[in-house]
A = this chain, B = another copy of it.
């Protein structure tokens, strides 16, 4: 059994950030499941590593590559880890100085992950305070004023 350590959690995030699938599968199981909070278009369970990576690509595309997670703390337990990040993002095409919750994300996010044999098999994003509201606004299918994407 590979112990879950802070170093291993950090290495998993680095592998994910690299976008290199051969590195990613050292830390993420092929049968990974991941739960995105809310009831906006991206919410719900993603049922494999491929679906999860597609989700990552989608969030990158929707934010024009601006999506960023600053990791603040990492906690570990028996085959589990949790980390707290601050997420920033600006919706693709939005004005740089937009303060609209439909265009700017600036929220503390919590990740809870279950590991098996050194790989992540299940993940949950969670939110604090009233950030679940802001999160659902940011991933809404529309821009400020209710304008749906594509218009």
Using a CB–CB cutoff of 8 Å, the interface residues on chain A facing chain B are 6, 35, 37-47, 73-78, 80-82, 84, 99, 101, 110, 112, 124-133, 136-137, 139-142, 145-148, 151
Taken together as a complex, chains A and B put the C-alpha atoms of A101 and B102 apart, in Å, by: 12
Give every chain B residue within 8 A of A136 (Cβ-Cβ): 39, 133
Residues of chain B with a CB closer than 8 A to A41's CB: 40-41, 141
Which residue of the partner chain, among B45, B137, B147, contacts A146 with CB atoms under 8 Å? B45
Q: How far is the CA of A131 from the CA of B126 in the complex (A)?
A: 10
Copies of this polypeptide in the complex: 4
Q: A132 with B129: in contact, given A39-B141, A82-B75 (CB under 8 Å)?
A: no
In the complex, the answer to whether A151 meets B45 with C-beta atoms within 8 Å is yes
Q: A45-B142, A46-B148, A126-B127 are in contact. List 4 more A-B contacts (CB 8 A).
A: A35-B129, A43-B142, A44-B146, A80-B84
Q: Which residues of B contact A47 (CB under 8 A)?
A: 148, 151
**Closest partner residue, chain B, to A131 (CB atom):** B37
User: Is A128 touching B151 in the complex (CB atoms < 8 A)?
Assistant: no
A42 to B39, CA, bound (A): 11
Whether A127 and B37, one on each chain, are in contact in the complex, defined by CB atoms closer than 8 angstroms, is yes
